[in-house]
Structure 1
Amino acid sequence: MLWGITYSIVGADAAPGGPLFSLACLAITAHFAGWIFSLTTLPALIGMLFTGIIMQNVGLVDIEGYAHVIANLRKIALVIILTRAGLDLDPNAVRRQKITMPKIGLVPWLVEAVIVTVMSKYLLDLPWIWSVLIGSVVAAVSPAVIVPCLFRLRSKGYGVAKGIPTLIIGISGIDDAASVAGFGILKSVLFSNDALWYQILQGPLAIVGGLGFGALWGCLAKYVPEKGDPFMVPLRVLMLLGGGLLAVFGSEAIELGGAGPLAVVAGAFVSCYFWQQEGWEIDDNPVTISFEIFWMIFEPILFSVTGTQIKINELDGSTVYLCIACLVAGIVLRIFATILVGVGSRLNLKEKVFIALACMAKATVQAALGPVTLDQIDRNDPEAVRYAETTLTLCVLSIILTAPTGAIIISLTGPRLLTKTTALVVPQEGWRSRKHSIRDISIINEDPDLEESADSKP
């Protein structure tokens, strides 16, 4: 349908043989490849990524002429990813675990980022700022991989007593926010032509500006639409989606790119907090279901397009091996750091080991941010091209190596390392036990109390 509309507007570029037609075929093929991979219980995104790599290297797609369109699609996908991360952060769980969750979320992330930074500097011969940028992206955990596996375990009662699935989801949200904010700040500095003093100020400005805008937008989402509005659900979806797009594209427009992604997570989290006070439980939030449906559309686009950036005939074998060495070193040391940081918490050793293993999976942030530097560099500068291509190679290898491995490890070790509750608490109506569809969203507010209060207004 979207292709038909595009063809009616654009014409030849969307006709068979044109770049937009190739993009449509790529996304549809990636969707079905992901479905086939999901039948093996492996993450669907692996099939989507391989679809892009294969179709690019056998010459079935040609989307080079629409780099600006693809860059904007990646930004939209990033907004959806980060909004979901913010909505999955349970404010009550964060409050209960206000020390454990940030500690296990940030300290191991910092350890992995530092290890990858140092190794990429000396093994791959990159400048420090590029190495730090790579470290900040590669260290991110992927909710797209771990959340389905965790909810399968939770539905069977594993780890429910101590809230292990909720803790790991919270860790991944904090982790992703740190990665995206760090990447945005470093990218702004790297490609900035401003004075040195302003480049130094960009980091604090991005953090304060992003958190401030996100908090204000989250507060606004409490009052707009007003409580009792019969179309409250779709209007709240539009508020979060519109605010996220404004934050990401607006921060790029004012050359403060690090603020936008941070604002998206903050806005989703603050709005979720207020909505929870009004009775929307974290596990029964129709806005979250809407963003899951948006992600079904953008996931094959994001991962397949990322795969097309990898041209096998241009890869250097030694660079690939060194990239793998950087990734393995970072992951191994992160696992040990996670276990050590958990000392003093109420978690036992088996639970700490499980959390450490679960947090090795990478995918979404790397796919969204890995190709970004290729859009920013001067293509006539061979050194800059090498740095950007190395960044992308590291990101793609991190997905290929850790996404399937992480999913398998979570599924196999969960029953062995986590305690199973005898009185199983099943989420309301089996929430997240299946894929959601548009039928799960109630357009009209069905709460009779709210409808009565709306009707009683003069």
Structure 2
Amino acid sequence: MKSGSNATPQIPATSTDQEDNEAGPTSSEISYEDLACCGKATCCVCFRDVSVTSPLVKRCEAVTWGTIFWYVTNSATVLLSWALLYFLTGDLAVPGGAIFNLLVLVVCAYCLGWGLAYIPHLHLPPVFGMLVAGVIARNTGAYNIRDTISSKAMSTIRNFCLTFVMVRSGVQINTTPLRNYPLFLLVLALVPCTVEMVIVTLCFKGFLDFPWDWAFLGGSVIACMSPVVTVNCLLALADQGFGEDKDISGTLCAACSIDGVHIVAIFSIAFSVVFDDFEGAKWWSYLPRGLRDMAFGIFVGSSLGLFLVFFPHQSHKYATFYRILNLSLGALCFSVGASSFVITGGGFLATVIMSFIVCTGWKIIVNKFDVAPIRKVVGIIWHILQPVLCGVIGADVNFSHWTAIRTGLYAACILTGLLARLTCAILSTIKMPFTIGERIFVAVSWLPKGTVQAALAPMAYEHALAKNNTRELELAEDVLKVSVLAILFLAPIGAMIMMMTGPHLLSRISSDAMEERRLQSLRTLSMKVKVKKPDT
């Protein structure tokens, strides 16, 4: 909320909002008092003249009345959520019940994740704190998620959260850098993660004595970077003008999304290879089925994506609402359907492809289509689901079952694959007009891991648990442990290294250039609004 003392220029209503504004006052008719109320604490008469942007205590300017309003709002949201769950589930939502314990876990994960993220100069990603909250709850004996929530319910929660991870990956893909640097983007997105997957697969086989099919599955899970952590760091640096002279942030963001699509496709093959019910055959005999599942995911995702491009019609009054609704429902159908009919990761591949096709198609058929509302809604959904996913995964990690020697082997697998990834990332920039510092930063940007590992690794564990095979359960636990170790170390370390080295490795555009970019964005915005002529 902005202070009432700072008058801001009013943007005329757009043509799509004119019908809604006919019955009410226009922006030019709004009085100064109405504008000032946006910056005042109006819940009580005695607070009427208190600006919400003023500090609560003079010695602590960071805590304002607006901060208090924010905490009260979130507390009310939590209480209302608990009340609704209590009315729906009864005793399950009372203290000690399964629903109540899960809600407390999610709230603690949210608070710790974002609390650590707001610590100045550390640049910790929220996924780190959320995972740590679950780990603390389990290993201190405060909460054992296996005693209160069934494996089927946990699998449903993870599938639901993973669905929107895939949707967000699809809608974040930007085709502009792909048109400008197609070869570089494909090499940067595909080669480092593929090489890392091969190296990690060999490490799983050599260090951990995995069978080849499980080593392939583990390699596909560990090899993917974290698009969420990397993109957030890139955008934060871009806002300060670093790397904008060569559009490094836009290029790397597009490469991150392609990297995620590529790994999900490989994971769908590996998943089908491992969890095929036919026994007695060698692992390579399953490969055609994995390719078939991948092809099916591509076909189904492309088909529904093309359908949603044209339906609803672009001129429909509520086109944006139906687009978001159908995109979400289609993604959930893919994830639930894939787990219901066959054991495969093809449903998530279909989700990514569908999300990418619909956003690209809407940009083509709609003049000046703005994908920002779609991305914002998906981002809000992920903001809510992220503590659920990370908290549940962390609460399933029991360090009492870990051994020092085995943990050292996990770290060796991660570091060996990471070294191969960084080397390939630097080599992939040879043909680009980058400086040495920019090449190093590109490699550093490929360090973070987090959301994809948090989503994919538990899938193997859940299916191994359902099959009740002791050997497969041990292998799945190892894959999950390696993923947790990668998240705990590479998510915070990768983010901190990016934010600390970015200002030194990247060139910064001048203040005049930053001002010109801001003015250009305002010019673009002004072209999208219809200016209403003043009455004569």
Aligned residue number for residue 403 of structure 1: 491
Q: Which amino acid aligns with 1:262?
A: L
Aligned residue number for residue 459 of structure 2: 372
Aligned residue number for residue 224 of structure 2: 140
2:205/2:211 contact within 8 Å kept:
yes
Q: Report whether the alignment pairs 1:67 with 2:151.
A: yes
- 1:317 is aligned, of 404, 423, 426, to 404
Aligned residue number for residue 334 of structure 1: 421
Q: Report whether the alignment pairs 1:44 with 2:126.
A: yes
Shift of 1:243: 1.1
Q: Which amino acid aligns with 2:383?
A: M
Q: Report whether the alignment pairs 1:163 with 2:247.
A: yes
Aligned residue number for residue 109 of structure 2: 30
Q: Which amino acid aligns with 1:108?
A: P
Identity %: 31
Once the two structures are superposed, residues 155-195 of structure 1 have per-residue CA deviations (whole angstroms, 9 ceiling, x without a partner) of 11111222211121112111111222222222222111148
Say which SS state the counterpart of residue 344 (structure 1) adopts. coil
Q: Which amino acid aligns with 1:396?
A: V
1:159/1:418 contact within 8 Å kept:
yes
Structure 1's 193 and 304: CA in aligned 2 closer, same or farther, altered over 3 A? Answer: same
List gaps (5 residues or longer) in structure 1. Answer: 430-445, 450-458
Say which SS state the counterpart of residue 115 (structure 2) adopts. helix
Q: Which amino acid aligns with 2:435?
A: N
Aligned residue number for residue 355 of structure 2: 268
Aligned residue number for residue 128 of structure 1: 212
Once the two structures are superposed, residues 181-228 of structure 1 have per-residue CA deviations (whole angstroms, 9 ceiling, x without a partner) of 222222222111148698332222222221222222222222222112
Structure 1's 255 and 291: CA in aligned 2 closer, same or farther, altered over 3 A? Answer: same
- 2:502 is aligned, of 414, 422, 427, to 414
Structure 1's 280 and 22: CA in aligned 2 closer, same or farther, altered over 3 A? Answer: farther
Shift of 1:42: 1.0
Aligned residue number for residue 433 of structure 1: none
1:78/1:368 contact within 8 Å kept:
yes
Q: Which amino acid aligns with 1:216?
A: S
Q: Report whether the alignment pairs 1:18 with 2:97.
A: yes
Rg larger in structure: 2
- 1:305 is aligned, of 387, 392, 395, to 392
- 2:481 is aligned, of 390, 393, 397, to 393
Shift of 1:256: 5.4
1:184/1:257 contact within 8 Å kept:
yes
Q: Which amino acid aligns with 2:408?
A: Y
The CA distance in 1 between the partners of 2:337 and 2:354, in whole Å, is 15
2:331/2:351 contact within 8 Å kept:
yes
Once the two structures are superposed, residues 39-80 of structure 1 have per-residue CA deviations (whole angstroms, 9 ceiling, x without a partner) of 123111111100000001122223323322221121121111
The CA distance in 1 between the partners of 2:269 and 2:353, in whole Å, is 16
Once the two structures are superposed, residues 109-149 of structure 1 have per-residue CA deviations (whole angstroms, 9 ceiling, x without a partner) of 01111111111111111111111111111111112211111
Aligned residue number for residue 78 of structure 1: 162
Q: Report whether the alignment pairs 1:381 with 2:469.
A: yes
- 1:237 is aligned, of 324, 338, 355, to 324
- Structure 1 segments, 4+ long, off by >6 Å, are 446-449
Say which SS state the counterpart of residue 182 (structure 2) adopts. coil
Q: Which amino acid aligns with 2:259?
A: D
Q: Report whether the alignment pairs 1:153 with 2:237.
A: yes
Say which SS state the counterpart of residue 417 (structure 2) adopts. helix
List gaps (5 residues or longer) in structure 2. Answer: 1-79, 523-527, 532-536
Aligned residue number for residue 20 of structure 2: none
- 1:102 is aligned, of 186, 190, 208, to 186
Q: Which amino acid aligns with 1:318?
A: I
Q: Which amino acid aligns with 2:500?
A: L
2:271/2:343 contact within 8 Å kept:
no
Shift of 1:104: 0.6
Shift of 1:97: 2.0
Q: Choose between structure 1 and 2 for higher RCO, CA contacts under 8 A separated by at least 6 residues.
A: 1
Q: Which amino acid aligns with 1:214?
A: G
Say which SS state the counterpart of residue 75 (structure 1) adopts. helix
2:113/2:126 contact within 8 Å kept:
yes
TM-score (norm 2): 0.77
The CA distance in 2 between the partners of 1:133 and 1:35, in whole Å, is 32
Give RMSD over aligned pairs. 2.1
Report how many aligned residue pairs link the two structures. Answer: 432
The CA distance in 2 between the partners of 1:5 and 1:301, in whole Å, is 18
Q: Report whether the alignment pairs 1:208 with 2:295.
A: yes
Say which SS state the counterpart of residue 89 (structure 1) adopts. coil
Aligned residue number for residue 268 of structure 2: 184
1:107/1:337 contact within 8 Å kept:
yes
TM-score (norm 1): 0.89
Shift of 1:304: 0.9
